[in-house]
């Protein structure tokens, strides 16, 4: 069966426009290393500028409304942009450059016009970044147990607490950039208890903290996936009550919109598995695979990744056509995380010990991508809800758990309900 989308003539003309703009604006010699923590400082600097250029054209967040700094374009146009970036070997995730974007849908749904103006526009234009301050040493999967406290003082809130695993997506980090500079590039969106006497889930606020606010310190965490994550300490950090999204005890509800997207509710249109394709090409171009059993393993792994891609496309389509989702986001996240682990197993079985050589080894193939993939797939089982948590959510939404729940509102369903 052929599931591929057929583009219209207008969309193909747009593709030409994107392609020639990218050709003109991506300098020759810009190379994206497998492990972004090995990226040269000049490349990071270029990424920052390039991201702003894309943002100014409305191509960084193509489907967001123009009035907020997006492109006002269709999902198909967005896919074209992402495909063309992929062809240039510039991963769209990498362009986020530390920017955790899980808050953007929550701002659209819950933010006032003034908050959208203050916090959304600069993000969609690629001028600022944000970090997600949810997880704490004692609150990960059970996020509602968090302890960070916000105390009202006049018109302000004063926040004190400790957050872990904080930073942009995928652990990307500029090794030469000092943490305070990064913080000054944007905001921290942070959950904190505002009313310790209120019931669980009705006791916290969702705050935007400007990165340069006094009282914030950061410490780099040395993780399996590199150095992109931080431990953040908040010591009497003062923010205006204008920076609370939703009501001051409505933070849990706002967070559900963020988690809905983080758990896969927005889908993904161009999520081809990069490592497996590189491994297959490498094997084809070199010694090949002569054992039928190993060929079968590779074929199964390829089919596995294609299935995940199609589930991502399904969610992307459902989101774009404003259909109500239930288990779909977490089903996609679960399949994606489990499939990644299976693919890592398959690569290890086919390529054996060479899959464990890192980029510094003289005999390494495809610049150490296989070894990095082994580590990243393990770590990727955790962020945005672990494998077990995705199963719990699917069960609740299918109605086969003691607790039943519905999907949180997203910009897609919010528009759908007001249209109705």
Ligand X SMILES: Cc1cc2nc3c(=O)[nH]c(=O)nc-3n(C[C@H](O)[C@H](O)[C@H](O)COP(=O)(O)OP(=O)(O)OC[C@H]3O[C@@H](n4cnc5c(N)ncnc54)[C@H](O)[C@@H]3O)c2cc1C
Q: Is 38 in the site for ligand X (CB under 6 A)?
A: no
Q: Does 388 bind ligand X (CB under 6 A)?
A: yes
How many residues contact ligand X, by CB under 6 A? 20
> CA-CA distances (angstroms) from residue 393 to 133, 307, 328, 414?
22, 21, 10, 21
Among 39, 60, 108, 225, binds ligand X (CB under 6 A): 225
User: How far apart are the C-alpha atoms of 239 and 207, rounded to whole Å?
Assistant: 8
- How far, in Å, CA of 72 to CA of 66, rounded? 5
86: Cα separation from own chain's centroid: 16
Interface residue with ligand X among 389, 393, 408, 412 (CB under 6 A) is: 389
H/E stretch holding 418:
helix 411-419
Q: Please tell me whether residue 145 binds ligand X under the rule CB under 6 A.
A: no
- Taking the least distance from each CB to ligand X, the nearer of 42 and 388 is 388
By C-beta, is 58 or 384 nearer to ligand X? 384
Find the part of the chain contacting ligand X (CB under 6 A) among 19-27, 84-92, 153-161, 387-395. Answer: 387-395
Whichever of 133 and 209 has its CB closer to ligand X, that residue is: 133
Q: Tell me the CA end-to-end span of the chain in Å, nearest whole number.
A: 35
Q: Is 386 in the site for ligand X (CB under 6 A)?
A: yes
Two tokens at 126? 């690629």
* Helix, strand and coil percent figures for the chain, each rounded to 5: 50, 15, 35
x-marked contacts with ligand X along 103-132 as a string, rule CB under 6 A: -----------------------------x
* DSSP 8-state assignment for residue 119: I
Q: Which residue is nearest to ligand X (CB)?
A: 140
> Is the CB of 97 or the CB of 134 nearer to ligand X?
134
Q: In the set 59, 64, 134, 189, which binds ligand X (CB under 6 A)? A: 134
Q: For residues 85 and 232, which CB has a smaller minimum distance to ligand X in the complex? A: 232
Q: Using the minimum distance from each CB to ligand X, give the nearer residue, 267 or 385.
A: 385
Q: Contact region for ligand X (CB under 6 A) — 145-153, 238-246, 288-296, 378-386?
A: 378-386
For residue 384, give the nearest of 230, 250, 260, 223 by alpha carbon.
Answer: 260
- Separation of alpha carbons 282 and 147, rounded Å: 49
Asked if 165 touches ligand X (CB under 6 A), the answer is: yes
Q: Does 148 bind ligand X (CB under 6 A)?
A: no
**In 219-291, alpha helices (H):** 251-260, 274-285
Span interacting with ligand X, options 53-61, 163-171, 325-333, 357-365, rule CB under 6 A:
163-171
For Cα atoms 362, 366, 370, give the angle at the middle one, nearest 5 degrees. 95
256 binds ligand X (CB under 6 A): no
Q: How far is CA 380 from the centre of its chain?
A: 11
Q: Which is nearer to ligand X, 151 or 223 (CB)?
A: 223
CB of 127 to ligand X, least distance (A): 20
Q: What is the rounded CA–CA span in Å between residue 270 and residue 80?
A: 9
Does position 274 interact with ligand X (CB under 6 A)? The reply is no
Residue 258, classed as helix, strand or coil, is: helix
Structure tokens at 369: 């991508």
Q: Which residues bind ligand X (CB under 6 A)?
A: 100, 132-135, 140-141, 165-167, 171, 225, 229, 379, 382-383, 386, 388-389, 392
């Amino acid at each position: 069966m052929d599931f591929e989308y057929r583009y219209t003539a207008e969309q193909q003309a747009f593709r030409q426009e994107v392609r020639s703009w990218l050709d003109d604006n991506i300098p020759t010699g810009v190379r994206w290393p497998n492990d972004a923590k090995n990226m040269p400082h000049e490349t990071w600097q270029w990424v920052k500028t390039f991201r702003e250029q894309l943002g100014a054209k409305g191509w960084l967040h193509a489907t967001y409304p123009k009035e907020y700094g997006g492109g006002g374009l269709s999902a198909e146009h967005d896919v074209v942009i992402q495909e063309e970036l992929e062809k240039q070997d510039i991963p769209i995730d990498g362009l986020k450059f530390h920017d955790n974007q899980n808050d953007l849908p929550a701002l659209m749904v819950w933010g006032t016009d003034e908050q959208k103006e203050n916090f959304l526009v600069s993000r969609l234009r690629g001028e600022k970044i944000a970090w997600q301050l949810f997880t704490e040493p004692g609150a990960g999967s059970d996020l509602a147990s968090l302890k960070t406290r916000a105390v009202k003082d006049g018109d302000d809130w004063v926040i004190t607490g400790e957050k872990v695993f904080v930073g942009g997506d995928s652990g990307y980090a500029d090794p030469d950039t000092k943490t305070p500079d990064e913080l000054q590039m944007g905001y921290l969106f942070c959950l904190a208890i505002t009313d310790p006497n209120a019931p669980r889930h009705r006791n916290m606020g969702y705050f935007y903290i400007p990165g340069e606010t006094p009282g914030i310190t950061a410490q780099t965490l040395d993780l399996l996936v590199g150095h992109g994550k931080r431990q953040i300490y908040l010591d009497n950090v003062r923010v205006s009550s204008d920076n609370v999204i939703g009501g001051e005890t409505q933070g849990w509800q706002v967070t559900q919109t963020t988690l809905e997207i983080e758990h896969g509710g927005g889908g993904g249109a161009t999520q081809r598995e990069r490592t497996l394709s590189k491994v297959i090409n490498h094997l084809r171009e070199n010694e090949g695979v002569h054992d039928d059993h190993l060929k079968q393993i590779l074929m199964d792994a390829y089919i596995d990744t294609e299935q995940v891609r199609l589930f991502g496309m399904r969610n992307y389509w459902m989101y774009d056509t404003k259909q109500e989702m239930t288990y779909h986001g977490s089903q996609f996240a679960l399949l994606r995380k489990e499939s990644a682990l299976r693919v890592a197993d398959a690569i290890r079985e086919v390529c054996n010990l060479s899959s464990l050589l890192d980029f510094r080894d003289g005999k390494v193939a495809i610049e150490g991508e296989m070894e990095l993939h082994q580590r990243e797939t393990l770590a990727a089982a955790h962020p945005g809800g672990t494998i077990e948590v995705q199963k719990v959510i699917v069960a609740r939404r299918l109605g086969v758990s003691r607790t039943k729940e519905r999907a949180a509102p997203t910009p897609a369903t919010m528009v759908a309900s007001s249209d109705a």
